[in-house]
Chains A and B, each alone.
Chain A
């Protein structure tokens, strides 16, 4: 079970470099063909600082340098029961290769449904640039199924 004592829990702030090679590998893996996601020159020609991060890449940035087990087991996660229930993004600015981003993550809710058979954990993550301007707000819903 997710431990509801963790509602309001803030994870340590992460500061990351958005690496060009990693970003390009992500774009290639999802079959992206638009050069703004793959080629620095093409991205700059189209008015971006560098290769543009696709809409869901900030989720990967939030995972960078940590393991699901280490991050969530203290909260009660059992990895084999984990499902990603829902995911939301709100966008306020783009993220490009070479950027430095600051990520803060917080558990905003933990609750059960169906008499405890479904266990929910809602986490909000805010991605900012070095000027502390918000670029994206992510909300993820994790579900554990207890059979």
Chain B
């Protein structure tokens, strides 16, 4: 995306949300293999129960990858300067994650015009799963 396409953003803008398919156990198994995070808490219900959980739960990095897709739908990936999240709560199997974002501010820093976006991932019950931000060069 050229910088002229990026200049359409203004402080306070709400970005078009992106909703992902419900997270299945298959997704978790595939993501374990694809991401290299083999922690059994995400794929082995017997292990999860042995440590006091009712079920397996999603990798935090799956939600962050979905949110990353949201970011690269907004801008060319080469414009992303930083991307941070806090994982606020566990994402259950079946969760339908919705990624939303809001333009927090646009500033000039050295030679670059930078846009800071506030990011949020919620599930179908509006429970907050990830809270984050990204800085994008315009």
Residue picked from A31, A60, A87, most chain B C-beta under 10 Å = A87
Residues from chain A with a CB closer than 8 A to the CB of B41 are 79-80, 82
Using known A-B contacts A54-B72, A55-B68, determine if residue A88 contacts B35 with beta carbons closer than 8 Å: no
- Give 1 or 0 for each of A14-32: 1 = CB within 8 Å of chain B CB: 0000000010011011111
Which secondary structure characterizes the binding site on chain B?
helix
Q: Is the beta-carbon distance between A56 and B81 smaller than 8 angstroms?
A: no
Among the stretches A3-11, A61-69, A110-118, the one at the interface with B is A61-69
Known: A84-B60, A87-B60. A54 touches B85 (CB 8 A): no
Count of A-B contacts judged by CB separation below 8 Å: 105
Q: Which interface class (under 10, 10 to 19, 20 to 34, 35 or more) fits B?
A: 35 or more
Residues 80-119 of chain A, each 1 if its beta carbon lies under 8 Å from chain B, else 0: 1111111111110010000000000000000000000000
* A21-51 interface with B by 8 A CB criterion: 22, 25-26, 28-32, 34
Closest CB-CB distance, A98 to chain B, in whole Å? 17
Interface set of B (CB-CB < 8 Å, partner A): 20-21, 27, 30-31, 33-41, 47, 50-52, 59-62, 64-66, 68-69, 71-72, 77-78, 80-87, 90
